[in-house]
Structure 1
Amino acid sequence: MIQGLGSNLLTVIPSEEPLTLADVDALRDPLYTPSIKAVAPQIGTFGTIHISNTTTQAQITGVTPEFLRVRNLEMATGTFIGAPHVESRAEVVVLGAQVSEDLFGNQDPTGAEVRINGRQFRIVGVLASQSGFGSLDDQAVIPITTAYYRLSGQRIPGGNISVDQISIQVRDVELVDQAIEEIETVIRLSHRITEADDFTVFNQQEILDTFDEANQTLVVFLGTVAGISLLVGGIGIMNIMLVSVTERTREIGIRQAMGAKRRDIVAQFVTEAVFLTFGGGIIGVIVGVALATGIDGRFLIGTEWSTRVTSDIPILAMIVSVGVGLFFGIYPAVRAARLNPIEALRYE
């Protein structure tokens, strides 16, 4: 989802002083912000959505029509919030995919009515399902003026409407730095700032880079954990095979007395070690595929998880399993092959 927003997205959030719709109007002026393509303010609050005997909790987000384009959203059914809805403070709502499913199942709810925090709202559309961090599947979207005056807003000095954040779409990725300068200049003038800024501008590309770094760190961490697990598992296999060699010393002596060569003994114990790890690999693949399939498309920790198991993953897992068996089975096998036949036959 974050990648889907694009690297030409900027987000402005307040710190000491609130951002207002007056700031939004100033940012929309092409005379002062020629690098900006669209500006979408938003207000967020939590609410209870109720219909008949079904109730669900959801994030209620107040937006303007530009929000659809700035956030690269698509409609599954119906229409999005329009300018007339914002101007008239209309009590209309666009449901996220998961909220719609929770309330109406697979039915199209467009045109139906729900109650949000006790107020009657008409559903005008449903957003297409998304995935990943930042998904709106578990949210409901209403006009920003409705959110402010009907649900969550607190008036600020001057009677303006405060907003939680402002999402800004830049005309081109190459203009991001220029757009940041324009935004800072406009808001500083609007807030009459002479010292430190009372707002922060976030660059979507910086967020993407941060997530990439975190992902790489996670990959290294998981790789290290996997490596340690393989080492511990391999040592366990080696110990099991050493115990097996000790318990089967007399059997080894009998095989040697009957003409078995060292390579035959080595092959026997290496094969046994490989079969052990191969069986463990099969169980691991089955459990892994089952878990991946089980969480695919489910909402966990506030976001929808999307998993994909390609054919190369089970193959790689089995190759690694066999490799562990070969590597850690060699020492016990060689030790078994080097036993003295006479001493082995005397062993009890």
Structure 2
Amino acid sequence: MKVKELGILQSVKMALRSIKGNKLPLLTMLGIIIGVSSVIVLISIARGSTQNVTSQINSLGTNLLTINTFGTEQVKLTDDSIEKLKAVQGIQAVSPAVSGRVTVKRDRTSAQVSLTGTNSAYQDVREMKVAEGRFLSDLDIEYRQKIVVLGSETAQTLFGIESPIGQHIQIDGTSFKIVGVLESKGGSMGQSGDDIVIMPLSTAERLIKNTAISTVYLQGKNNANMNFVMAEVEMTMKRLFPNGTDEYSIFNQQDLMDTMSSVTSTMTMMLGGIAGISLLVGGIGIMNIMLVSVSERTKEIGIRKAIGAKRRDILLQFLIEAVVLSSLGGVIGILAGIGLGNLLSSFMSLTVSYSTSVILMSFLFSLFVGVVFGVFPANKASRLNPIQALRFE
């Protein structure tokens, strides 16, 4: 057993000496290096994109159903219909909303921003966090208070580093008191979640002169039964508006999550497959260089066989050389892939998510490539006739 281990160790040392003394193997490893690093970088970028999209969708709120109406008289959501939606089994919170575009002004600074009129549940349903001050309360809606909560970008535009709490702004010519500022949510689905003002639903309806509730957000109690909750909401809406099923839509956020997950998984597999082709090309390069090595070392093989080396020893020697070549390329490829991923993350603002399993699989695949493409040259070397090999010039 010790002799066998010593033989393998000696073969590894010989393989390393061969690589060190010959520039061709180093060039051959480029195929493996590029392949492994490509797999790591492309899949890591795809995973990062998936996490980024998932985070953006989750920023809209979790366990979320959205009812959108198309502004017709046939489907008009009222306080009574909102209460019936609240009574649906599995619903934790309901937040009706009206929206529009308004002009906000402070002194000489003005901007066009999105307006949302809603209730106090909106904060939990849409998972909004208050950075300063407070959010809307039920009393604000009941008494039609002229107060607003600003998005972080709106607050920055109007007040800079100054605290806006307690100060007043003009919204379409009407004065409103600022009671809160939201934490930044960043961009979501191509739109900024920070360029916004939020006010009580009753106040917004009066400001934009529209009492038609265009959107209702419904938060489920847990993610497991959202399909059941959606079916119940659909049944409730059909009972409320039996002739208006074409005038509204019910959107399940989980459906979007599933669709995006399917798309990104397919993209990840495609990118991984494209990068995997580089590994196969690298394997062909290893096979070619090993065949050249067999030809160059024919006399050496003949001498080894003449002094007692068996076919198995020659086969093992060249197979180990191929594996050492591919494993070194795999290690360098892993380091190059991680380094390139970090550079892309820093300079191109890409989200990169490394996976230990992907890194390990890419390295093992590089070893597999070394074994598969090293078998043929190793087998050819082991079959050489020692007398003919010694005569080879």
TM-score by length of 1: 0.67
Q: Which residue of 2 aligns with 1:208?
A: 257
Q: Which residue of 2 aligns with 1:181?
A: 235
SS of the residue aligned with 2:87? coil
Aligned-partner Cα distance in 1 for 2:288–2:331:
21
Report the aligned-residue RMSD.
Answer: 5.0
Read off the aligned partner of 2:230 and give its amino acid letter.
V
User: Is 1:143 equivalent to 2:177 in the alignment?
Assistant: no
> Hey, which of these two has a bigger chunk of helix by percent?
2
What do residues 135-162 of structure 1 show as CA deviations (whole Å, max 9, x unaligned)? Answer: 9875333125798898xx6xxxxx4156
Asked if the contact 2:70/2:214 (under 8 Å) is kept, the reply is no
Q: Which residue of 2 aligns with 1:330?
A: 375
Following superposition, the deviation at residue 70 of structure 1 comes to: 1.0
Aligned-partner Cα distance in 2 for 1:178–1:161:
26
Aligned-partner Cα distance in 2 for 1:226–1:214:
18
User: Is 1:93 equivalent to 2:150 in the alignment?
Assistant: yes
How many residues align structurally? 323
Aligned-partner Cα distance in 1 for 2:87–2:254:
20
User: Is 1:271 equivalent to 2:314 in the alignment?
Assistant: no
Aligned-partner Cα distance in 1 for 2:195–2:324:
54
- The share of aligned pairs that are identical, in percent, is 30
1:276-287 alignment, distance < 5 Å: 276-287=325-336
Larger radius of gyration: 2
Q: Which residue of 2 aligns with 1:68?
A: 123
Asked if the contact 1:11/1:202 (under 8 Å) is kept, the reply is yes
Aligned-partner Cα distance in 1 for 2:122–2:385:
81
Q: Which residue of 1 aligns with 2:94?
A: 38
Q: Which residue of 2 aligns with 1:168?
A: 218
Shift in alpha-carbon separation, 1:317–1:147, aligned structure 2, 3 A: farther
Read off the aligned partner of 2:260 and give its amino acid letter.
F
Q: Which runs of 5+ in 2 are unaligned?
A: 1-54
Read off the aligned partner of 1:41 and give its amino acid letter.
A
User: Is 1:12 equivalent to 2:12 in the alignment?
Assistant: no
Higher mean alpha-carbon deviation, 11-20 vs 171-180, is at 11-20
Shift in alpha-carbon separation, 1:211–1:33, aligned structure 2, 3 A: same
Following superposition, the deviation at residue 201 of structure 1 comes to: 0.9
SS of the residue aligned with 1:182? helix
Following superposition, the deviation at residue 93 of structure 1 comes to: 0.8
Shift in alpha-carbon separation, 1:202–1:92, aligned structure 2, 3 A: closer
Aligned-partner Cα distance in 2 for 1:253–1:161:
95
Asked if the contact 1:61/1:139 (under 8 Å) is kept, the reply is no
Shift in alpha-carbon separation, 1:244–1:75, aligned structure 2, 3 A: farther
Aligned-partner Cα distance in 1 for 2:313–2:112:
67
Q: Which runs of 5+ in 1 are unaligned?
A: 51-56, 154-158
Structure number with greater CO (CA < 8 Å, separation at least 6) is 2
What do residues 195-243 of structure 1 show as CA deviations (whole Å, max 9, x unaligned)? Answer: 6512211123333333343354345444544554443332332223223
Asked if the contact 1:92/1:124 (under 8 Å) is kept, the reply is yes
Asked if the contact 2:130/2:182 (under 8 Å) is kept, the reply is yes
Shift in alpha-carbon separation, 1:208–1:161, aligned structure 2, 3 A: same
TM-score by length of 2: 0.61
